[in-house]
Structure 1
Amino acid sequence: MTTQILLAGVTGLVGGDVLRQRLADREWNGRVLAPVRRTLPISEARVAAIVAALADRAADGELYAQVSDRLAGAALDVYISCLGTTIKTAGSREAFIAVDRELVLRLAKLSFDLGARRAILVSSVGASRQSGNFYLRVKGEVEDALADIGFERLDILQPGLLLGARNERRPGEAVMQALAPATNVLMLGNKLRRYRAVEALDVARAIVVLSERSEPGKFVHEHDAILALSEELKVPASAR
């Protein structure tokens, strides 16, 4: 049976690695449907770019129509959201919410309506709707709202700082990445280890492993769990 995945954020740091890691398994006969603003520079039968104006603040119905029209007849199995931006990149808090909360949830609802019963979300360590930090509060709101949609299995990854080369410039993050090896060493004990920086590739590998799991429930994965899942990808699928 062919597994169909809706992968949001495929042009980003983690999403791009998810796509590459998933396609690296030549025996995987599934299909990745990727909502994007422009055609992907990839020629692969297992990937379909769903080109739509995803960056604007379109009304729910308008956005739903754009993507759902292009997904007509699709039967989805898994929704994966690697969407994420910053307030500085987005330009305002409202624009940040439009992507990091509204778009994530619109595509989640669309995926559910098209049959997906499993969802995987890249969130952030410390995410909570009770947080005094705006960024973490929005992430927490997304986690809670996603859990209410009705997915039978929901995996939430809460990594710390993501390490890797982005397509966009984030000077502040670049400085933090350079300091990460030193700061990681200082983060000892269970309470601090969860805040350690992690390679985006490890997060992507963890997502690929989770995309093959169907046990029902809600699961939250922090730093150490993400690394453990990443290691599993090195084990043949038949042995997992």
Structure 2
Amino acid sequence: MAAAPITSAIFGATGLVGAHIVTSLLSLDAFGTVHTITRRTPKQASDAALSKKLDAIVEKDTEQWVPKLNEVLKADPKAALPAVFSALGTTRVAAGGIANQWKIDHDLNVEIARAAKAAGVKTFVFVSSAGTRSLAARWLPYSKMKNGVEDTIKELDFEQTIILQPGLILGDREVEHQGAGAFKALVKGVGSVSKSWHDSLGQEAEVIGRAATHAALLASQGKAPSKYWIVDTAAIIKLGRDEWKF
């Protein structure tokens, strides 16, 4: 007997990585309804083939996102292995300062995770970042945000936690991060010398999105290597590119 499709909700669905997670979830039969809660309508809503399973909830007030998530989870409490994904994040410039960025990158992600746990969500997937716990980086505001969210998710003790830690995220953003162009050029240059060096430094957003989806699918099948699964850069390449054969 085939397993029931997995219902999922995703935050950050209109971002670079989040959009690819949505597309991957919608393309796989193993996943059923995909709920997105965003400020603007995801691009997949205009795709007839993809939009059949998409429930796009548009809410410009981020303070209403957790209540919206609660509504979604209460509406379908018997959904098979409900999973919540968060690829939510912004930049200091876009947010208008570190304090505002902290409200999104840290506080809102923590609220989402706590709400998911309280609602009985079994699998929580968070897109974090590589290198945030190194001696050189751990004191930076960005690292503190990511590490704080990771630590909270671990303490919540989901049945399955998946933390993706990509390096430089490659792909075309609507608004590029400050200084990212130079780093991307560097990674591209390194890639012309060594593919493995390229893969360790930066990963394509599409590959990261597929890796998140693939990891959640493996977890639903009891194939996750651990209850608290850190998907590092090598695993992202493996799951999202080398073993992506769906």
The TM tier, using the shorter chain, reads: 0.7 to 0.9
Q: Does 1:10 align with 2:13?
A: yes
Q: Does 1:38 align with 2:32?
A: no
Residue identity in the other structure for 1:220: I
CA distance in 2, matches of 1:227, 1:33: 26
CA distance in 2, matches of 1:81, 1:28: 19
Q: Does 1:84 align with 2:89?
A: yes
**Distance apart, 1:194 and its partner CA:** 8.2
**Distance apart, 1:154 and its partner CA:** 0.8
Gaps of 5+ in 1: none
Structure with greater helix percent: 2
1:105-157: CA deviation from partner (whole Å, max 9, x where unpaired)? 21122222332111111101112398122111211111001111121111111
**Distance apart, 1:63 and its partner CA:** 5.2
Residue identity in the other structure for 1:22: L
TM-score by length of 2: 0.81
Equivalent residue, structure 1, for 2:25: 22
Q: Does 1:233 align with 2:244?
A: yes
Q: Does 1:179 align with 2:182?
A: no
Q: Does 1:196 align with 2:201?
A: yes
TM-score by length of 1: 0.83
Provide closer, same or farther for how the CA distance between residues 111 and 225 of structure 1 changes in structure 2, counting only shifts above 3 A: same
Please tell me whether the aligned partners of residues 9 and 83 of structure 1 are also in contact (alpha carbons under 8 angstroms): yes
CA distance in 2, matches of 1:68, 1:117: 14
Across the two proteins, how many residue pairs are aligned to each other?
A: 227
**Distance apart, 1:184 and its partner CA:** 5.3
1:170-228: CA deviation from partner (whole Å, max 9, x where unpaired)? 35212321221224578999xx8885111111111111111112345111121111101
Quick one: percent identity of the two aligned structures? 26
Provide closer, same or farther for how the CA distance between residues 70 and 221 of structure 1 changes in structure 2, counting only shifts above 3 A: closer
Provide closer, same or farther for how the CA distance between residues 95 and 195 of structure 1 changes in structure 2, counting only shifts above 3 A: farther
Residue identity in the other structure for 2:111: R
**Distance apart, 1:163 and its partner CA:** 0.3
1:73 to 62, 70, 75: 75
1:55-98: CA deviation from partner (whole Å, max 9, x where unpaired)? 4xx4xxx6533443455423361111111211122111111111
> In structure 2, the residue corresponding to 1:48 is in which secondary structure?
strand
